[in-house]
Amino acid sequence: MTRCPVTLHDIYLARARISGQAVRTPLVKSVSLSERFEAEVYLKLETLQPSGAFKLRGALNAIAALDETALARGVTTASTGNHGRAVAWAASRLGARAIICVSELVPANKVAAIEALGAEVRTVGRSQDDAFVEARWLVEDESMTLIEPFDDPLIVAGQGTIGLELMEDVPELDRVLIGLSGGGLLGGIGCAVRGINPRVQVTGISMMHGAAMIESLAAGHPVAVEEVETLADSLGGGIGLENHCTWPLVREVMSDHCQVSEHAIACAMVHFLETEKMLVEGAAVVGLAALEEHAIDIRGERVALIVSGNGVDMATWQRAKNMVDP
């Protein structure tokens, strides 16, 4: 496998391409977490993107790069929710038809959010891999363009614009904690921050079960992993057995990684609502879950947590609350 061809220059080009559409999200210092961990802890609020999650950056960059013929034929993708919503939002802005393929595990609130943006949703099977079969059929049968959720240089470069903003806002950043699934977010941010300062620690976090990227790294090649229900549903799904971009990039830019339990995710979700006053999804809080569950020593460091999305429904929130306070 070859290294993903994403450079700092590509990320700067992506920023120019998505400017005026994606938001330059705020980086706010958490007083409570800074005091708890004796560090400077910052929250990167990708929840404030128009689509509710970081995925908008990559989707906009990929769709904006299409020519008029491709836009006229429309776009499709497979998604665990946030990417589909981002593709739907970007397609509506750029005048393209969109069909989003999801599995039965995608929460109903995320499906409704996609449909509200004017995209067609097709529910197929019990995994993202099943949904991908339908998306690839649309590419072959209707000549639509597949917008990859993560394994594409344009997607990675779009997500990498977060890293540029982090380094501009906190030039002496020591560590960034990032949810790890397909690797587009971590790969892009890692490429940006370590391209600017190689000493920045890039920590990836996955849920305890169904962590396809971590199991693939351990195996030395992409592997298929059963997709399971989790509070961090946005981190579900495989990385693709033919992964050519994010698997080698994550292996290159990630400093360390850990997996967190459902209880730790639930506790972090409760903290975000009760203390930070933010209602966010499970995947958005895995950085805090890792700090607490693994007692990561960040004393004296400048640390950023990527608060990746706000796509949580009340049933999932209540399930998390019940885990913490039965």
- Show which residues are catalytic: 55, 308
In the beta sheet, which residues pair with residue 177?
203, 305
Q: Are 153 and 211 in contact (CB under 8 A)?
A: no
Give the β-pairing of 40-45 and 27-29: antiparallel
Encoded tokens for 265: 């995710």
Encoded tokens for 306: 């990527």
Q: Are 162 and 53 in contact (CB under 8 A)?
A: no
Task: Determine phi and psi for 21, rounding to 5 degrees.
Answer: -115, -65
Q: Are 301 and 174 in contact (CB under 8 A)?
A: yes
**H or E, element range at 100:** strand 98-102
Give the integer Cα–Cα distance in Å for 68 and 304: 39
Nearest partner of 283 among 78, 98, 106, judged by Cα: 106
Query: Max CA-CA distance within the chain?
Result: 56
Give the integer Cα–Cα distance in Å for 56 and 67: 19
Handedness of CA 111, 87, 77, 192 (dihedral sign): negative
Q: Are 188 and 194 in contact (CB under 8 A)?
A: no
Residue 16 DSSP symbol? H
- Helical residues (DSSP H) of the chain, grouped into ranges: 8-18, 31-37, 55-64, 68-73, 82-94, 108-116, 128-142, 153-169, 184-196, 212-219, 246-253, 262-274, 286-293, 314-324
Q: Are 175 and 304 in contact (CB under 8 A)?
A: yes
